[in-house]
Structure 1
Amino acid sequence: MAAAYDIVYPPALLTRHTERAAIDMTISGLRNKTVKDASGADIPIKTESDLYEVGESYGVMKHRVDRPHWSDNGH
């Protein structure tokens, strides 16, 4: 497969994505809005870190280096 698609390394067979424990998504337009955390509290979103904390309250961790990556353990 690596040769067919001219990529350097073959794709990993087991990843957080294939284990259905991760998703890549870009979330935009939430600054200066309020969202509910898992306890039902209204949380104002002023920075990306605010959104990351809300995600963590639901058990979803943001991988800080891989911009669109969210998972159950941050990897």
Structure 2
Amino acid sequence: MGKEMMENFRKSATIMPFVGLFVSLLLFVYFFGITGVEEPVWAAVLYCALPFLGYTIFYLPVYIYFKVSKKRSIHKNEEQT
């Protein structure tokens, strides 16, 4: 992959947890504020939190990958000089 493409992927992956948080907040407002929730409240809470949890779980390996690759490139540059 090109350097520009990897940078764009890193930027889009960085905002994913925030997008998930926004969607989760919209779902909380919809289910608890507008329609109302019947008995299984825990199921509604889990359903509303699912976008945030999913995007965050996807973001963590991507974050670790870019952190490790940055350290490797720093060490590679130090060894070459």
Normalised by the shorter chain, which TM-score bucket?
A: under 0.3
Higher relative contact order (CA 8 A, sep 6+): 2
The normalised TM-score by structure 1 is 0.27
The normalised TM-score by structure 2 is 0.25
| Higher strand fraction (1 or 2) | 1
| Higher helix fraction (1 or 2) | 2
Greater radius of gyration (CA): 2
